[in-house]
């Protein structure tokens, strides 16, 4: 039986649809627009796992009362170079965009600015916020902790999130360098693909309840759902031979900056549940940074050297069978340019989910 064809939709109407859904649920217009923009930005860049496929997650969170639509976001502490915000259990995207703006505002004044957020929710793609700094020719940094899915090296317990790190750096004639990566070997979604196909996944992606690497995706997903032992492995894989301890260290660093520094939850304290097993507010944290290039050296000289660096990488001798050496962010910039013109292909199941959400909110989907 042939696979169903994707449903193609353009970014503008898709963004409007998501915004209207959030407004229907009681989210203020500005917050709804920010959240919708972050979701569609992920789809434009080809990061479909974090795009509108996640809309149901936010709709359910709002309806279940674990994501507040009109939070009382407040400043916890502020200095000329730093700020910590309490998101009051609201959507992660609006408070994150505002926190990054504050970091940039402080960088304009003192050269570098940093912001942390506590008591928040999933904020979408980390790269969105790092890339905000490019608007003002700054270097941007964004990290977040998340649900405990990753097993520290030599452990059998999932204690850390996939904890992404994003850094965006402007260049001259070259596209910006945009690193946006999880600190786990693979995201949970990769396991879900193998589970649906009933196929064994590669060794080194995840562990079973004993802490041993396994190819049984179904078993790992069941353990994660039950919060039993086992989980995803950190970047590098199992043990120290392939440097899994380095990915573990990066994930831990993100948890320190995003969770501990902000006063938010960390490790397996995120996404708690009540005595009845019902979900409670996630209480995850984020960290943002912005650096003004001219606080370090003349920006034109920096951009010249960035172009030279990236050219040296692109023009290096290719490995056998390779046709191109990519710089981080290039694939996503090219995908976004193509999808702006051709539209965003939605998986049929994602389109069906959007139709269901639209029907329940009285909002017509754009397809």
Alpha-carbon distance of 11 to 23, in angstroms, equals 18
Domain ranges (residues) in the chain:
1-63+343-367, 72-185+233-315
According to the model, what pLDDT value does residue 2 have? 57
Q: Can you tell me which residue has the tokens 């790190």?
A: 165
Alpha-carbon distances, residue 210 vs 108, 200, 237 (angstroms) = 51, 18, 16
Report the half-sphere exposure of 66 (CA within 13 A, side-chain side).
20
Q: Can you tell me which residue has the tokens 């397809």?
A: 367
| Sequence-separated (6 or more) residues with CB below 8 Å from residue 28 | 69, 70
Instruction: Write the pLDDT tens digit of every residue in 29-65.
Output: 999 999 999 999 999 999 998 999 999 999 999 999 9
According to the model, what pLDDT value does residue 88 have? 98
pTM value is: 0.95
Q: Which of 54, 15, 35 is nearest to 347 (CA)?
A: 54
According to the model, what pLDDT value does residue 1 have? 45
pLDDT of 92 over the 70 cut: yes
For the domain made up of 1-63+343-367, give the CATH fold. Answer: Hypothetical Oxidoreductase Yiak; Chain: A, domain 1 (1.10.1530)
147, 251 in Cβ contact below 8 A? no
Q: Percent of the chain, pLDDT > 90?
A: 92
Confidence of residue 277 (pLDDT cuts 50, 70, 90): confident
For all residues of the chain together, what is the average pLDDT? 96
What mean pLDDT is predicted for residues 150-165? 96
With respect to CATH, is domain 72-185+233-315 assigned 3.30.1370.60? yes
String of b and e for 200-237 (b: at least 16 CB within 10 Å)? Answer: ebeebbbbbbebebbbbbebbbebbeeebbbbbbbbbb
**C-alpha dihedral sign at 16, 4, 336, 292:** positive
Report the half-sphere exposure of 161 (CA within 13 A, side-chain side).
27
What mean pLDDT is predicted for residues 96-115? 98
Q: Which of 140, 86, 82, 84 is nearest to 106 (CA)?
A: 82
Spacing of C-alpha 254 from chain mean position: 12
Alpha-carbon distance of 317 to 127, in angstroms, equals 29
Instruction: Write the pLDDT tens digit of every residue in 237-272.
Output: 999 998 999 999 999 999 999 999 999 999 999 999
pLDDT of 149 over the 80 cut: yes
| Sequence-separated (6 or more) residues with CB below 8 Å from residue 226 | none
Confidence of residue 3 (pLDDT cuts 50, 70, 90): low
According to the model, what pLDDT value does residue 145 have? 98
Q: Which of 89, 20, 85, 255 is nearest to 158 (CA)?
A: 255
pLDDT of 320 over the 60 cut: yes
Confidence of residue 295 (pLDDT cuts 50, 70, 90): very high
């Amino acid at each position: 039986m042939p696979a169903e064809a994707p449903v193609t939709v353009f970014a503008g109407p898709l963004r409007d649809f998501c915004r209207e859904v959030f407004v229907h649920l009681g989210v203020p217009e500005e917050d709804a627009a920010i959240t919708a923009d972050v979701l569609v930005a992920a789809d434009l860049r080809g990061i479909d796992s974090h795009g509108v496929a996640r809309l149901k997650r936010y709709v359910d969170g709002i309806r279940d009362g674990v994501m507040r639509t009109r939070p009382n976001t407040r400043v916890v502490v502020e200095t000329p170079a730093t700020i910590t915000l309490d998101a009051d259990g609201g959507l992660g995207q609006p408070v994150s965009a505002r926190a990054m703006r504050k970091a940039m505002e402080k960088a304009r004044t003192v050269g570098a600015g940093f912001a942390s957020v506590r008591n928040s929710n999933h904020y979408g793609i980390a790269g969105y916020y790092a890339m905000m700094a490019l608007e003002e020719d700054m270097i941007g940094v964004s990290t977040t902790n998340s649900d405990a899915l990753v097993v520290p090296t030599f452990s059998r317990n999932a204690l850390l999130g996939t904890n992404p790190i994003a850094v965006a750096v402007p260049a001259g004639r070259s596209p910006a360098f945009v690193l946006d990566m999880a600190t786990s070997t693979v995201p949970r979604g990769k396991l879900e693909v193998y589970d649906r196909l009933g196929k064994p996944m590669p060794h080194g992606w995840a562990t079973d309840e004993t802490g041993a690497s396994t190819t049984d995706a179904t078993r790992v997903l069941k353990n994660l759902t039950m919060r039993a032992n086992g989980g995803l492995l950190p970047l590098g894989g199992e043990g120290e031979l392939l440097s899994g301890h380095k990915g573990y260290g990066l994930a831990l660093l993100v948890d320190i900056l995003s969770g501990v520094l902000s006063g938010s939850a960390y490790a397996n304290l995120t996404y708690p549940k009540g005595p009845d097993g019902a979900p409670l507010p996630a209480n995850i944290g984020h960290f943002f940074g912005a650096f003004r290039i001219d606080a370090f050296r003349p920006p034109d000289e920096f951009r010249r050297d960035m172009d030279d660096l990236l050219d040296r990488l692109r023009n290096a001798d290719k490995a056998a069978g390779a046709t191109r050496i990519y710089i981080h962010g290039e694939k996503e910039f090219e995908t976004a340019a193509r999808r702006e013109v051709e539209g965003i292909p939605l998986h049929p199941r994602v389109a069906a989910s959007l139709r269901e959400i639209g029907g329940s909110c009285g909002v017509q989907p754009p397809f």
